[in-house]
Structure 1
Amino acid sequence: MQHFSKYFLVVVAVIVISILPVACTQRSLAPLQSHSVNGLTSQNITDSEHHYFHKTEKPHKAEWGYEGDTGPKHWGDLSPDYILAKQGKLQSPIDISKSIEKELPDIVFNYRPVKINLVYNGHTIEEEEGGSHVLVNEDLFELKQFHFHAPSEHTINGKHADMEMHLVHKAKDGTVAVVAVMIEQGAENRSFTSIWENLPTPVKREVQVARTVDATDLLPRNHTYYRYRGSFTTPPCTEGVTWFVLTVPIELSPGQINKFKSIINNNNRPTQHLNERKIYLSE
């Protein structure tokens, strides 16, 4: 088994491909309801609690970024809404160095080809059609969006990958599951061609992609994963997210990686303390 710019706008510098549109409204966090996802206690995250689930772009209550006084070290001080960024005990990303092997359910990916509309607003590329989802046991999570970080946010034995892709899913009850895929430098990945040829920029913020994209093609063939309880990796850093970090990376060519980094780079939050959490490795 394998283990392996500063474009600070009012929003996080991440490129996102979202199936349901993304926006950036936020409010102070009310107590969240607990829910069990295959043995992991998770929490309901309402649409208004995180920008991943909205289309209409609205101003943040507090500007934040990845450098200087608005960087990750200061997120928890920028707004009362971001308090979990410094006080939360279930924060993401983390370093994965020790794990417990366990018989865990397979992730069944039921993605479908869709046409995408790519929109750059400092962190988003939006995809307007839905219908894709994953199944974990009997729990269905609809794919809302996917986005990229460079370098990776999670580390494996202290080592960053060149990039990391997050596929963000949400169940009808508000439970959130994120599948993380490490991206290493290697061969050209033609599955990304239609996206990479149309990456929006601060100058050209919206691009319509003519060809359909099937997110299944962006995944490694091996879906073995690490699982742990965590949070979103951007303010307000809401906890209650179930993370599935795939153990096998995918590859992009140096040219593909550099093209992304020429638009957005160093948009990764540092790893957070594991505290008392356990990391499980699917058998």
Structure 2
Amino acid sequence: MLLSIILLIVVSCNDTKKTAHANNNHEEAHWSYSGETSPEHWAEIEKNSDCNGNHQSPINIIHKDVDSVKITNDLKILYTPTTLISEVENNGHSVQFDFEAGDSINYKNETYYLKQIHFHEPSEHKINGIIYPLEMHLVHVSKAGKITVLGVLGEEGEESQLFEFFESFLPIKEGETKDIHQKIDLSSLFLEDKHYYTYGGSLTTPPCSEGVNWVVFKEPIVLSVEEVLKLRNNMPINNYRNEQPINERVVNYNY
């Protein structure tokens, strides 16, 4: 039962796992990023979701309003160069890379395992109102089914070898899945050297489940314009959710 709950939660971030497609085809057809089923209408059309909750994501992080704290050991990146990507899929909402067991993080003394990476273009989170060309979400799930997502913003500049590797498996048609089973070294992201914001939020796609730990890195990674465009050409146009109210939440800045 616990395994089923964990699987369902991971699927929800992108509605991508094949089991979810089998069980939720009717629901998946309801939401999109445009028209009458765009993010502004998710709360109306996804009746059993949290999309109208008070702790939703993404948010606009205003630096002057955050609580600054010295970095302790709240976040430890435990990525290794031997982790395997199992497959890549185009689920109609994003391009997603699924991982075999290996990489993990430790957040507030709890281990979360990397399950998948997907992309939004342009970014979902903003920092001081700035929208970045790209946002990468690294979704991690603990054995208890809790979720921590690392949000990495991308700006245009030099070519990224990591993104060249990701995009070597593109193009990929909507609904298509490709087996990969190749090693990937995520250390080139240098996440250990970056400052980050943390807050309690939600999944950014239906069912918008709350209780998600968000870690949004302040310093963006750099990739080329061509790499951004190649990802964009394999995803829906503007596959981002609109900004959500912060309400009473506190955003921490770890420096």
Which residue of structure 1 aligns with residue 7 of structure 2?
Answer: 47
Q: In structure 2, what is the Cα distance between the partners aligned to 1:133 and 1:214?
A: 13
Q: 1:48 to 1:115 in 2, by over 3 A?
A: closer
- Per-residue CA deviation, residues 187-226 of structure 1 (Å, 9 max, x unaligned), is 0001222211112422682334474212332344523210
Q: In structure 2, what is the Cα distance between the partners aligned to 1:215 and 1:126?
A: 13
Task: Structure 2: give runs of 5+ residues left out of the alignment.
Answer: none
- Per-residue CA deviation, residues 51-87 of structure 1 (Å, 9 max, x unaligned), is 24844223142521011110011101113222x212x
Q: In structure 2, what is the Cα distance between the partners aligned to 1:257 and 1:209?
A: 21
Which residue of structure 2 aligns with residue 263 of structure 1?
Answer: 234
8 Å contact kept, 2:99–2:114: no
Q: 1:259 to 1:105 in 2, by over 3 A?
A: same
Which residue of structure 2 aligns with residue 34 of structure 1?
Answer: none
Cα RMSD for the two superposed structures: 2.2
* TM-score, length-scaled by structure 2: 0.85
**Secondary structure of the equivalent of 2:58?**
coil
Query: What does 1:145-160 correspond to in 2, within 5 Å?
Result: 145-160=116-131
Between 1:268-277 and 1:47-56, the stretch displaced more is: 47-56
Q: Does 1:85 align with 2:51?
A: yes
Q: Does 1:277 align with 2:243?
A: no
Q: In structure 1, what is the Cα distance between the partners aligned to 2:216 and 2:105?
A: 14
Percent of paired sites with the same residue: 34
Task: Structure 1: give runs of 5+ residues left out of the alignment.
Answer: 1-24, 26-44
8 Å contact kept, 1:220–1:250: no
Q: Does 1:121 align with 2:95?
A: no
- Per-residue CA deviation, residues 10-44 of structure 1 (Å, 9 max, x unaligned), is xxxxxxxxxxxxxxx9xxxxxxxxxxxxxxxxxxx
Between Structure 1 and Structure 2, which shows a larger proportion of helix residues? 2
8 Å contact kept, 2:91–2:175: no
Which residue of structure 1 aligns with residue 31 of structure 2?
Answer: 64
8 Å contact kept, 2:90–2:172: yes
